[in-house]
Structure 1
């Protein structure tokens, strides 16, 4: 070895390695996943509810394929108990970006007898059959979802590419390793893959990304005045799903929603977070995930989410 070779760097002339921001890394990973699916599958679709996670998912898809349009449609499983603010936002976003929206309405399945209304009025558990039939009828072979591992213990078990069998069911024993972010999309006829580009994001990451990218959300994610009543420690609002019950007093409070879904089981939280900055500060100080704090359907049992996933739920 040449003893005169100086391997040290001159601090005056050497360039510091570029710093990769955490949000940049998460965005890059998600965009890579979108492009991987577009190249590997024939008929992908994005599950879109108008909520914050699916809105961020759509924003990433638009970025992944710009200036070309998003090369696959959106699919919304509409319980019929959605918040009006969310449905208006969904339709405005679809129109603005000239997207194709497929809607599977739970009410249609109830009307023709394929599903029966639950005694408690909650329709979230009724979404599975319309979802699976919409996937089968449209021959979707990859279904993007906005699920994140930090939301709930069953979702923490998910791979980014989550194989579902010909009945749409999830079997943890059939999931593939994803070492070095290598994704295996191989599947048999009739099977499909659920794909989760936001798997490694947290709720705080999502809100910081919304702040950075100036992403518009449905208005109910920010503090507003609303008539609510308390049930099981959550603030619910009345609507076509019913309520309040006898003894449940309606009061007006300043609230916001951390997550949106079926109005019968999605609660609001008292909040003065009127801006994105306010929400970020609030989320950073919270010790509960948004589902744990505001989703009654996840409180039915310790394994409620995992049971529904095995049946074909999101």
Structure 2
């Protein structure tokens, strides 16, 4: 809908395409999130992009708290947390050499609550996944996981119908839902204000692989 409304070009790099032709293989832990890195880096190289915008925020994960708003990536698309430029008085340095690029995170200093308050103020339309709806789910690692092609219950996991919503919309193989009755933006704002866990901490299984899971992926070129 956004592409049609703005008349822009949408290009998609698909993990499934890389699995189908053998460039990537499914992981033993079932999560496809780390597999997104290679298609992302290939798309950046193919488009010869100097800068790539992301929606990451510092409150999501301690690795993202080390990011700058303008984050330098080397010729291999990799991130070095020790090679980040100071950003004083909102002055940003986007310079880079051929082959390098920068990742730009304009809302890095926002919180999840800031985002939802802005959505409410501007009356921004959102996909229904962000609001409470009934869904077939099963419990794993303390999270409600939706039943799907890349997210199937094990023999000892019971499928239930629950009213849930997604605080973050990520890869289905590792993104969990939370029980919620928030069906409007205002009720989501109230719910987030009460929460003591970030949305990634509450709903992303890939970040529970190890304490440094996000940082390890970012060093490889992940957003």
Please tell me the TM-score bracket, short chain as reference.
Answer: over 0.9
Match of 1:238 among 135, 139, 147: 147
Equivalent residue, structure 2, for 1:133? 42
After TM superposition, give the deviation of residue 119 of structure 1 in Å: 2.2
Equivalent residue, structure 2, for 1:269? 178
Query: What is the 5 A alignment of 1:113-128?
Result: 113-128=22-37
After TM superposition, give the deviation of residue 246 of structure 1 in Å: 0.6
After TM superposition, give the deviation of residue 283 of structure 1 in Å: 0.3
CA distance in 2, matches of 1:287, 1:277: 18
CA distance in 1, matches of 2:16, 2:45: 19
CA distance in 2, matches of 1:190, 1:149: 27
Pair 1:154 & 2:63 matched? yes
After TM superposition, give the deviation of residue 114 of structure 1 in Å: 1.1
Higher relative contact order (CA 8 A, sep 6+): 2
Query: What is the 5 A alignment of 1:82-101?
Result: 92-101=1-10
Is the helix fraction higher in 1 or 2? 1
Equivalent residue, structure 2, for 1:72? none
**How many residues end up aligned between the 2 structures?**
223
CA distance in 1, matches of 2:201, 2:136: 22
Pair 1:290 & 2:199 matched? yes
TM-score, normalised by the number of residues in structure 1: 0.70
Equivalent residue, structure 1, for 2:215? 306
CA distance in 2, matches of 1:225, 1:238: 12
Contiguous gaps of at least 5 residues in structure 2: none
Query: What is the 5 A alignment of 1:144-293?
Result: 144-293=53-202
Which one has a bigger Cα radius of gyration? 1
CA distance in 2, matches of 1:251, 1:131: 35
- 2:63 counterpart SS class: helix
After TM superposition, give the deviation of residue 120 of structure 1 in Å: 2.8
CA contact (8 A) 2:151 2:172 kept: no
After TM superposition, give the deviation of residue 285 of structure 1 in Å: 0.3
CA distance in 1, matches of 2:25, 2:173: 16
CA distance in 2, matches of 1:100, 1:204: 31
- 2:160 counterpart SS class: strand
TM-score, normalised by the number of residues in structure 2: 0.98
- 1:260 counterpart SS class: coil
CA distance in 2, matches of 1:243, 1:113: 23
